[in-house]
């Protein structure tokens, strides 16, 4: 049975849509891979690929793109790669070029980024001495 029919009073169309996987997302695979690295800097490419839902080859290409663009630095430790995130790098698209990677990631993972040097501290926040 390909579609589930709701018996709780919801319309049938809404029930059918719940069973259909989304065809798009608000974030790109680059953003999802970056979130993986922020959460676990030593995460293997195989695990990044699995989490994002892409091939290991695509994960490698994405990580190389992020390194080449300056958002990450790859550090080799033994047989593993660890990625250092550069939160102060400005985003590349003209609509968001005034924001940094830290601003984006902070909003996505629920931790505010540290204040940028060029912005005053929010009202009610004191600098530590």
In a domain, 128, yes or no: no
In a domain, 35, yes or no: yes
Over residues 1-6, mean pLDDT? 49
Range of the domain at 82: 24-109
Contact 112, 127 (CB under 8 A): no
In a domain, 115, yes or no: no
In a domain, 123, yes or no: no
pLDDT surpasses 50 at 1 = no
Closest CA to 2 of 25, 20, 27: 20
In a domain, 114, yes or no: no
Pick the range with the lowest mean pLDDT from 1-10, 21-30, 44-53, 72-81. Answer: 1-10
Tokens of 31: 């953003």
In a domain, 11, yes or no: no
Over residues 74-102, mean pLDDT? 92
In a domain, 78, yes or no: yes
Tokens of 117: 């040097």
**For the chain, what is the domain count?**
1
Contact 27, 51 (CB under 8 A): no
In a domain, 76, yes or no: yes
Q: In percent, how much of the chain has pLDDT > 70? A: 71
pLDDT tens by residue, 48-85: 999 999 999 999 999 999 999 999 999 999 988 899 99
Task: With 0.75 as the threshold, say if the pTM is over it.
Answer: no
The predicted structure's pLDDT at residue 110:
84
Contact 51, 32 (CB under 8 A): yes
Angle, to 10 degrees, between the axis of helix 29-39 and the axis of helix 45-52?
130
Contacts of 106 (CB under 8 A, 6+ apart): 112, 113
**CATH number for the domain harbouring residue 103:** 1.10.10.10
Round to whole Å and give the CA distance between 100 and 89.
5
The predicted structure's pLDDT at residue 23:
79
The predicted structure's pLDDT at residue 100:
94
The predicted structure's pLDDT at residue 6:
47
pLDDT tens by residue, 104-117: 998 888 875 555 55
What are the Cα distances from residue 48, in Å, to 82, 106, 110, 113?
Answer: 12, 19, 20, 23
């Amino acid at each position: 049975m390909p579609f589930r029919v709701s018996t709780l009073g919801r319309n049938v169309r809404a029930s059918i849509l719940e069973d259909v996987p989304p065809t798009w997302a608000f974030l790109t695979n680059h953003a999802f891979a970056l979130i993986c690295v922020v959460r676990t800097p030593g995460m293997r490419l195989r695990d990044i690929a699995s989490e994002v839902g892409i091939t290991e080859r695509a994960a490698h290409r994405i990580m190389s793109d992020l390194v080449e663009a300056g958002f990450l630095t790859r550090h080799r430790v033994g047989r593993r790669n660890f990625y250092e995130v550069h939160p102060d790098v400005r985003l590349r698209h003209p609509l968001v070029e005034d924001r940094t990677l830290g601003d984006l990631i902070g909003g996505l993972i629920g931790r505010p980024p540290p204040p940028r040097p060029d912005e005053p501290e929010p009202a009610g926040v004191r600098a530590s001495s």
